[in-house]
A and B are shown apart, each in its own frame.
Chain A
Amino acid sequence: MALYAPITLDDIRRLLPWVPTGPILDIGCGAAAVTLAFAEYGFPVTALDVEPDTIARCRAAYGSLADWHCADLRAFELAPEYYAAIVCLNVFPFIPSDEHGPLLQRLTRALIPGGILIFSTFSPEDPGAAYTMATRLGQDIPESTGTLTPDQLRAALPGWESWHFFQGLVADDHPPHGPHTHGLVQTIVRKPKASPGIVDWAAMPHLGAGIGWRSVLSELLNDPDSTDFLEIMTDDFTHPQYDARLLQLAQRYTVIPHGVELSVGTPGALDAAYLSDVRRVADRCNAPWWSDHICYTRSGDFKTYSLNPLPATEEALQVAIANAKGAVQQVKRPLVLETVAYYARSPLSEMSDAAFTSRLAEGANCGILLDVANLVGNQLNMGLDPHAFIDALPRERVVQVHLAGGRLHQGLLFDTHDSPVWQETWDLLAYALKRCDIKAISLERDDHYDDLRALVDEVAKARHLIGQRL
């Protein structure tokens, strides 16, 4: 049997990257240690306490760090599916036991899908269970301390993902009792979240023109007009150490996570640990979609970091459809797949690349990210017709476009993202905008940042083009 220790402030701090982006409710905030942990990390917090003095002290000491309310939880209005996390530590003992069930239900309803409940209360084994501590709302009648059994707590959270469960006696020491023990029942749980069903791509939000965020571009963000949204490299943020920075970005911009490690075309199991990181990043971005590439980046013996195109065969198509579906199940957000650059096309291909892309998107219920710079490269390197490719795609699924500048290397145009966008690429963008229902255009730049003004001008040009179409 696994042993757990009672929840500490340190546990809560270390959990913060897994709390989705959204408002936090701290019930019974007391000295506000938990409120501050969330607020200093960057979350908006509503802190509740029934004691007017407590709230006055917090307000005086911490002011606008949180939204302070003096209220009884039972009389406090809770909007449905509103909070990203609710913290309720040892408030229920002050509420009669028979009110616990309905109150727990109100708390669980107030969390967004995927939201976190951090909950602690006294169990019937608490030595103070027989004493009076609870009162009924609106009446001043003393009742015995409210208690909840572990089974009652579990039953109130059916299908929730449990990250922590504790029951047992814990030492405590505070006036007027001095040293004493409490019987606690505690949990940290995540509310279930459904995978996206049939996605209505036409109803996706229009994001405008954005830029691929790299840390060297930070100064661009001083000017709010330089970009409409941000696209991040998912893999740069899979380490939770970078999560607070991402939370800051996500509170200012719509952020779209774009990864390279899904390897949708690799036969066999998906990387569940990686996808759980992607889910955390996508939850943090609260993104309308996340994206990766129609390619494979690894095989049994190799990991290339290059986006290797799949042979357009029925076998590869079925592998990619199954993987894309599995990935959406795990990340629980709509997936958009990007068309990649070709430097060698497999003679095994049984269908056109456009047919492969369309059938993959339709079969796996995905969107399409059209990299028009790659299309220019594929024309130059492989003689593939970019207009025919665009014409053959399901127009409502093409939700995003990538722009970038490439580089000629040994006679091939490589997708290096290190130079200004070519005129041919702008022309293809204009062509795609006429035919597809594009919601977002993003500019990718991974090197040569000497002229940031020119980058902003390229974003503005893309905005201008998408604006004419909208």
Chain B
Amino acid sequence: MSLAAYQDAYLRLMLYPRDREDWYAGNLPLLGLTPAEEAALRALPRERLEAISSSVNLGRISVFIATVPATLKLLLDPEKLAQWAEIYAHQYPLAGVYPRETAMAPWLAFLAAQIEQPHILDVIVYEQARLGLSYYRKPQPLHEGLRLSSRATIFVAGPHLPQILQALWHEQLPSLEGPIEPRQGYLLWQGPQIPELMPIHWALYWILNRLGGLGNWAQWLEQLITEHPEVEDQRATLQAWEPWLRTRYLLE
């Protein structure tokens, strides 16, 4: 059966019509196609392939642009975004945008690699964290120990992220000036509609970062205090976080 190889070869030729002569010579004989299939691919008129390719690529590029979160779209120069989408579409032929929770992560990571402004990078980190969350889900088996709910996550970003996001949510351009240090831990959780973002103390971040379905709150708190005796006097506060998170169903 070579239908799979034939389809794969056709899609390659369609997406990259310019490489086709080299590719025919190097790869076509290795695919295990029937002589008829090989002949069918060689017979594809180059001009036609280029016309299809340009239309298909325009479609893919517009999908990548359309799915960039609104916050980032406000911050990025549309021309540059279009160029990056074109490069991404060309370099990653298997890339997609559905399902959003997983497929968007590499696209956002690619964008992050093109950007130097730390404040915009913080917004990307935030959007990556948000896209990974899902409020809704079917009931699932629990781990034996404690972990963060699948609707919550933590990440580290600059101190101005909340103000930047506030502006973006109101469709205003935020100021991208201001200190980027000290970096700050954030807790993000998804409600039925809006996501909630809260800056958290590093000691709480330390504990949340270790919850992975193993151990309980008290154990991690003890270990934290052993390693960082300076938070000893925060013990009661750090204990109180567990019920606070539980009543919001952020632990499971």
List chain A positions with a Cβ less than 8 A from chain B. Answer: 2-5, 7-8, 10-11, 13-18, 163-164, 188, 235, 238-241, 243-244, 261, 265-268, 273-274, 277, 296, 298-306, 308, 311, 313, 315-316, 319, 343-344, 346-348, 409-412, 414
Contact = CB atoms under 8 A, between A and B. Distances in A.
B56 A304 contact: yes
A304 B135 contact: no
Contact of A410 (B43, B50, B134, B151): B50
Interface stretch (B11-19, B163-171, B226-234): B11-19
Interface stretch (B69-77, B92-100, B236-244): B92-100
Contacts of A300: 4, 8
A301 B136 contact: no
A220 B100 CA distance: 28
Given A163-B139, A301-B12, A344-B52, A266 B98 contact: no
Contact of A261 (B14, B98, B136, B137): B98
A436 B162 CA distance: 58
Interface string B90-123: 0001111011110000000000000000000000
30 contacts: A2-B141, A15-B139, A16-B136, A17-B136, A238-B98, A239-B99, A239-B100, A240-B136, A241-B134, A241-B135, A265-B7, A266-B7, A299-B8, A302-B8, A302-B12, A302-B15, A303-B95, A308-B14, A316-B3, A343-B48, A343-B55, A344-B52, A347-B39, A348-B6, A348-B40, A409-B51, A409-B55, A410-B54, A412-B48, A412-B51
B142 interface: yes
Nearest to A346: B40
A348 B39 CA distance: 9
Nearest to A306: B56
Contacts of A8: 249
Interface residues of B, number: 51
Given A5-B142, A13-B192, A319 B99 contact: no
A16 B101 CA distance: 19
B51 A343 contact: yes
B49 interface: yes
B138 interface: yes
B59 interface: yes
Q: Across chains A and B, which 4 residue pairs bring their CB atoms closest together, nearest first?
A: A2-B141, A240-B136, A164-B139, A410-B51
A10 B189 CA distance: 14
A240 B134 contact: yes
Contacts, number: 141
A299 B4 contact: yes
A168 B134 CA distance: 28
B198 interface: no
B11 A308 contact: yes
Contacts of A303: 93-96
A164 to B, nearest CB: 4
Nearest to B99: A238
Taking chain A's interface residues, is the majority helix, strand, or loop, or is none over half, making it mixed?
mixed
A319 B59 contact: no
B10 interface: yes
Given A239-B99, A274-B99, A409-B51, 8 more contacts: A243-B136, A267-B1, A267-B4, A299-B7, A301-B94, A302-B15, A344-B44, A410-B50
A15 B138 contact: yes
Interface string B2-38: 0110111011101100000000000000000000110
B134 to A, nearest CB: 7
A226 B29 CA distance: 56
Nearest to B151: A14
Interface of B: 1, 3-4, 6-8, 10-12, 14-15, 36-37, 39-40, 43-45, 48-52, 54-56, 59-60, 63, 93-96, 98-101, 134-139, 141-144, 151, 192, 249, 252
B129 to A, nearest CB: 15
A299 B13 CA distance: 13
Nearest to A12: B139
B138 A163 contact: yes
A239 B103 CA distance: 12
Contacts of B94: 298, 301-303
Contact of A306 (B36, B59, B192): B59
A11 B249 CA distance: 9
Contacts of A316: 3
B44 A305 contact: no
Contacts of B39: 347
Contacts of A15: 136-139
Contact of A302 (B37, B93, B134, B144): B93
A280 B11 CA distance: 31
Contacts of A311: 3, 6, 40
Contacts of A14: 135-137, 151
Contact of B1 (A10, A18, A315, A344): A315
A267 B99 contact: no
Contacts of B52: 306, 343-344, 412
A7 B140 CA distance: 11
B11 A304 contact: yes
A277 B99 contact: yes
Interface centre among B52, B142, B144 (most CB of A within 10 A): B52
A308 B9 CA distance: 13
Contact of A3 (B10, B136, B144): B144
Contacts of A188: 139
A304 B60 contact: yes
A296 B40 contact: no
Contacts of B139: 4, 7, 11, 15, 163-164, 188
Contacts of A3: 141-144
Contacts of B98: 235, 238, 261
A52 to B, nearest CB: 32
Interface centre among B3, B141, B252 (most CB of A within 10 A): B3
A7 B138 CA distance: 12
A7 B142 CA distance: 12
Contacts of B138: 15, 18, 163
